[in-house]
Structures are given as structure tokens and as C-alpha cells.
Amino acid sequence: MSQPLTKRIEDRYNEEIRVRENEDGSELSILNLGPTHPATHGIFQNVLLMDGERIVDAEQTIGYIHRAFEKIAENRPFYQITPLTDRMNYCSSPINNMGWWLTVEKLLGIEIPKRVQYMRVIVMELARIGDHLICNSILGVDSGAFTGFLHIFTYREHIYEIFEEICGARLTTNMGRMGGFERDWSDATWAKLNKFMKDFPAAWEEFDALLTRNTIFMHRCINVGPISAEKAITYGFTGPNLRAAGVDYDIRTATPYSSYEDFEFDIPVGKTGDTYDRYMVRQQEVRESLKIIRQALDKMPKEGGYHADVPDYYLPPKQEVYTNMEALIYHFKIVMGEIPVPKGEVYSCVEGGNGELGFYLISDGSRVPYRLHFRRPCFIYYQAFTEMVKGCYLSDAILILSSLNVIAGEIDA
Amino acid sequence: MALTKEELLEKITARYGESIRMDEDSLDLPAVIIDSNKAHDLIKFLRDEPSLSFNFMTDLCGAHFPDNAPEAQFALIYHLHNWLDNVRIRIKAFLNAENPSIDTMCDLYLAANWMERETYDFYGIDFKGHPDLRRILNMDEMESFPMRKEFPLEDQGRTDKDDRYFGREPQTNNVPNNELR
């Protein structure tokens, strides 16, 4: 099948090539980056207009893995929407899951016990570490440093093993329920978590030593793709990319959710918003996340169970479903999605791996959302890419793309 | 002096009077419904007025309400955020069914560009003055606007789940497909 869109962009660029005359007689050229290019780490296409090695103009085409999650969500009971959220930013799916549960709980007005909130914080911070770890190590790979990536990737495996202990899945976790977790964390979970907390900080410093002050890496990153704070704000940047530009906006401190106000941590900010600053902010955020997890482990209440006491929304234990009529009724009602839901609208957001991950939910009181909109941070800030790569070298564009941590699943939803 | 919700609502109701009303559906944020022709002006006011300074457009999305009156079939929902005082506001503008259109916000916030394209793509809402209004997630050849409620995700009574579509001959013509299974 032909690709009329790409063709239209190319026609526009061809016109520009025809009109423009370089002094030395050279011509501009068109380069297609993507949709499936190993250096873009996802399915999105960039049609670039090149003057030799420099980028004159760029146009993005997205939507290659659009799965219409918002439409699907209008036809699914609330508990069936978590698997959809997994597949947005699949590098940190537990944050998406928790963000969704927090939205539902906000609508239903469910109070969450402190212990569950702390467990959620641990899970979310682990996911954030996993997200930043991938982004930064892949940034190394894109600039030619494979070692750090190979070394640190073991630890993402350990993070996934913890997720696996908690919920049974690794990448698309579908973790949690309305009101808490589906089961209490096993001894193995705590053991793995403690082991991770013991080993990972040293490994992270080792990774840092491999990459951060590496001359080649610094030359490749410093002053590449800078963005000013004003530009970043008007483009809707949030998360590490915004903080790299020097704005200390973080939802964990601006509007704390899930008891983030109980923890001491810093919000690292950069100065110029270039690739190196984005890298440094993520590097430091991982350390802050470790700090949060350590505090959560220390402060973890013994009492409080692993879910809120909300029989209307939380599935009863299986043994009771088989032996107790009331439990069976609740089980049936919840599985069929027949839970009491108020009418109204809520907007709830969490600090995702890439920024403000928002859920705007319109409920008409029925078993499915009337309208659910995902505010996907990637989708919003990726539109700045054209402006950021203009005048850059092609190889810099790759670094900018990976330092922005653009996730195709989150762009397309 | 930090901005409070009451002050915020007071200021904008004083300025817009008849064209604005409170949105009773909101369970969390201060929310208003504005006449669609005043939406651009309101958002510009919220952004530029120093005591309000809503510097960030968090979100923009559409919604379809086929049960509403014909002049309020579509809604556009804006979420703005004032980072200095940490106040959010939700603004809703209803559009008619015939020709849903509203002024673009691209001149106020660059972030609106793709969000408006997405809304156009899903709901067919026309953003007047948008620099590049075309589909973004769906393919350009598409003719419908799929998030409108008249397009069901899957028709429960569909008859096209038929063996013929899977390269097989139907076993008999008289027996409905689902009885064969």
C-alpha cells in the first residue's frame, strides 16, 4: 500500500529542494528515519530534510501502534482498564497501573491504608528506576557506549523479578486492584527487594562512573538539543525533561498522592535542558527514588493489610467465594462490573517516568467510563522534537530522541 | 498571596457574567462551562492576567454527548494549571452537532497543537486558525471520526463474523453461525 502522507511530506520537501540553492552548488536531500529503525527504539517515523549532515527540517508521523485505548476503555468495566494502561509507557507500567487505580479511588472516594500507600510508593519508584535505567543506558548505547548498558541491564531484570513476585507479570504488569494489591507481598518479594536495595546503589554508581564523565559521551551530549524553560513549559513538557530545563515541577511534591508527602527527597533540576542535563537529572532521580524506597521500607507499618476494606469494590478471597453465599454474590457483581459508581468527573495525575501522566474520567454512573482521556506526557512533548533537531547533526537527533525518552506506546495509546 | 479557588471563580465570573456557569459535574477541580465563542478569550485572560497566570496547559480533549441538545453535542475540555500557586481549573465548552468548531489555542500554548489534532482526529471538531489541522493517530484516508458515540466498538449483533470471511465455506446456509459452534 502506498503511503500518501509520507509522500505529501516528501513533495513539500522536494519543492524546498528545488527552490533552495546552496552557494557551493550542493542540494538538500530527504532522509526517512523510521518507522522501524533500530536507533529510534520504537515505531515512529521522522522525515528529515537534510543539508549534508545537518537537519534543516523534520516532520514526525506517529500512530503506527495506535490501539484506540480511549475507545476500548469506554466499553470496559473499570477493573479491565488496567491492562490498557500497562501498554502505554511499557517501560514503567506499574506507575500507569497505580495512576489508574488512584483515579478510580478518587472517583469512588476509597481511603487507602498507609501500608498499601507505602507499598505502592515502593512499586512506583522501582518502576521509575527501571524507566530511567533504560533511558540512560540506551542513551549510552546510542552514543557508542555499550558496556554500561550491558552491565546495568541485569538490575532491570531484578526489578522485573520483584514485579513478578508481586503480581505474576513482568513487563505488562496489570498490577493491583481498586483499594490495594491482589495479594500480600510474599517473603520472597521482601527478600528480593532488600537484596536489590543492597546491591543496586553500588551498581548504579559504577554505571555512573562508566558513563557520566566519559569525554566522548560528554562531547556528544553537552549542548545537544537544548530547550529553554519557557519553551519547555509552553510545549507542555513535564517530568525529567522539564526539570532538565530548570523548572522544579514534580507532581510528587506539587500535589502529593499515595503519601509522597511522608518522604524526604530532592527534585534534581538541570540548567540548559540539553541532552546531558536530561541524562544527569535522570541519573540523580534514580538516587532519589532509592532514597524514597529506603524510607518507605523503614517506615512501613506492620498493620494495615494489603488492601482497603471495601467489599463493594475489592474481590473477596477465593476460599470464601466457594463456601460463602455473600462472598459469591460480591464476587459475581464485581466481575460483571456492577459496582456502585458515582456520577461525575475527576482528573487525577501521577508523576510517570516521563512526566505528568493524567487520567481524565467522566463517569455517568454506569459500569464503564463514559469518557476516559489519558494525558500522555510523551505525546505532548514529542511535538517539540522538530524544533529541537533543527540545525543539529543527524547523529545528534538520535541522541535527542533517546534522551527525551519517547515511548511509542505512550505516544499512540 | 496565593490564589484560592474562590478568588479564581469570582474573578472569571465577574468578567464573563452570563457566558459562564459552574460545572456541577466536577468532583475535584474548580470547573466552569464557557460559551464556545468566549473560550479563547477566557483562556487568554487566565494566562495573561498576572494574578491568575495559568502558565501551563495540562490537557485538552473532546467528548461526545449524543443525548444532549443539538447545540451541546460535543464538549471540549481544557485543563489549565497555575504552577506558582498550584491551582488547576477545568474549562468546558459545548459545541453544536452541525458544525463543531472552536478557536485554536495554539497561539497561547504550543502544546495545544497536537492535542487539537488528536481531538480533530477522534471527534471531527474544527479548530479555527490551527496551523496544520489534520489527522494524527489514524490514517489520513479515514472518513469517520471514531470516538463519536455512534461508532460502537463492536456490534454485539454483528452478522459478519461469518466463516466466509475466514476463507472457509459456510457449513449450511440455514443454521445461524453461532449455533454451529
Residue B82 distance to chain A (closest CA, Å): 11
Q: Are B72 and B100 in contact (CB under 8 A)?
A: no
CB pairs under 8 A between A and B: 102
CA A168 to chain centre: 20
Residues A39, A73: one domain?
A: no
Type of residue numbered A202: A
Whether A35 contacts chain B with CB within 8 A: no
pLDDT value at residue B111: 93
pLDDT over 60 (residue B153): yes
Radius of gyration of chain B (CA): 22
Q: Are A149 and A134 in contact (CB under 8 A)?
A: no
Residues A152, A250: one domain?
A: yes
Residue A64 distance to chain B (closest CA, Å): 8
Please indicate whether, in this complex, the C-beta atoms of B59 and A360 are within 8 angstroms of each other.
yes
User: Which site among A72, A345, A361, A363 would you substitute to test the B interface, given the most B Cβ atoms closer than 10 Å to its Cβ?
Assistant: A345
Question: Which comes out higher in pLDDT, residue A267 or B172?
Answer: A267
Residues A42, A136: one domain?
A: no
Residues A258, A371: one domain?
A: yes
Residue A93 distance to chain B (closest CA, Å): 21
Please indicate whether, in this complex, the C-beta atoms of B137 and A63 are within 8 angstroms of each other.
yes
Residues A9, A156: one domain?
A: no
A239: left (phi over 0), alpha (psi -120 to 50) or beta: left
CATH number at residue A132: 1.10.645.10
Give a yes or no: residue A401 inside a domain: no
Residues A133, A265: one domain?
A: yes
Residue A27 distance to chain B (closest CA, Å): 27
pLDDT value at residue A37: 78
Q: Are A17 and A46 in contact (CB under 8 A)?
A: no
Give a yes or no: residue A408 inside a domain: no
Work out the average pLDDT over B62-84.
Answer: 93
Rounded CA separation A9/A68 (Å)? 25
Cell of A38: 533500530
Please indicate whether, in this complex, the C-beta atoms of A233 and B56 are within 8 angstroms of each other.
yes
Q: Which residues of B touch A75 (CB under 8 A)?
A: 152-154
Cell of B122: 477522534
Look at chain A and report how many structural domains it folds into: 2
- Pairing mode, strands B101-103 and B126-128: parallel
**In terms of CA atoms, which chain B residue is nearest residue A256?**
B86
* 3 state SS of A67: coil
Rounded CA separation A145/A137 (Å)? 9
Give a yes or no: residue A396 inside a domain: no
Counting beta carbons within 10 angstroms of the beta carbon of residue A374, is it exposed (0 to 12), middle (13 to 18) or buried (19 or more)?
buried
Counting beta carbons within 10 angstroms of the beta carbon of residue B67, is it exposed (0 to 12), middle (13 to 18) or buried (19 or more)?
exposed
Residues A132, A228: one domain?
A: yes
Residues A216, A190: one domain?
A: yes
pLDDT value at residue B169: 65
* Residues within 8 A of B (CB atoms), A 343-402 only: 343-349, 356, 358, 360, 362, 370-371, 373, 375, 379-384
What ipTM was reported for this prediction?
A: 0.90
Please indicate whether, in this complex, the C-beta atoms of A234 and B88 are within 8 angstroms of each other.
no
Q: In the structure, what pLDDT confidence band is assigned to residue B177 with cuts at 50, 70 and 90?
A: very low
Please indicate whether, in this complex, the C-beta atoms of A234 and B136 are within 8 angstroms of each other.
no
Whether A69 contacts chain B with CB within 8 A: no
**In terms of CA atoms, which chain B residue is nearest residue A348?**
B28
Nearest to B114 among A5, A70, A380 (CB): A380
Residue A383 distance to chain B (closest CA, Å): 7
Nearest to A68 among B61, B141, B146 (CB): B146
pLDDT value at residue B180: 41
pLDDT value at residue B160: 64
Rounded CA separation B53/B76 (Å)? 21
Among A61, A78, A105, the domain-final residue is A61
Which residues, in sequence order, are bridge partners of residue A364? A343
% of chain B surpassing 90 pLDDT: 53
Place of cell 529503525: A37
Annotated domain spans of chain B: 5-155
pLDDT value at residue A33: 86
Residues A240, A128: one domain?
A: yes
pLDDT value at residue B175: 43
Among A17, A39, A61, the domain-final residue is A61
Please indicate whether, in this complex, the C-beta atoms of A62 and B109 are within 8 angstroms of each other.
no
Residues A52, A74: one domain?
A: no
Give a yes or no: residue A187 inside a domain: yes
Give a yes or no: residue A10 inside a domain: yes
pLDDT by position in tens, chain A (length 413) = 345 666 778 888 888 888 887 777 788 888 888 787 777 788 888 899 998 899 999 998 888 899 999 999 998 899 999 999 999 999 999 999 999 999 999 999 999 999 999 999 999 999 999 999 999 999 999 998 899 999 999 999 999 999 999 999 999 999 999 999 999 999 999 999 999 999 999 999 999 999 999 999 999 999 999 999 999 999 999 999 999 999 999 999 999 999 999 999 999 999 999 999 999 999 999 999 999 999 999 999 998 899 999 988 999 999 999 999 999 999 998 988 888 899 999 999 999 999 999 999 999 988 899 999 999 999 999 999 999 999 999 999 999 999 999 998 899 88
Q: Which residues of B touch A254 (CB under 8 A)?
A: 83, 86
- Pairing mode, strands B101-103 and B87-95: unpaired
Reported as type and span, the H/E element at residue A144 is none
Residues A277, A152: one domain?
A: yes
Q: Which domain holds residue A167?
A: 69-310+337-375
Cell of B22: 459552574
Q: Which of 3.30.70.1400, 2.40.50.140, 3.40.50.720, 3.30.460.80 is the CATH number of B5-155?
A: 3.30.460.80
Q: In the structure, what pLDDT confidence band is assigned to residue B176 with cuts at 50, 70 and 90?
A: very low
Q: Which residues of A touch B28 (CB under 8 A)?
A: 106, 345-348
Residues A173, A32: one domain?
A: no
Give a yes or no: residue A341 inside a domain: yes
Radius of gyration of chain A (CA): 23
DSSP string covering B28-71: SS-EEEE-GGGHHHHHHHHHHSTTT---EEEEEEEEE-TTS-GG
| Start-to-end CA span in chain B (Å) | 70
Please indicate whether, in this complex, the C-beta atoms of B83 and A249 are within 8 angstroms of each other.
yes
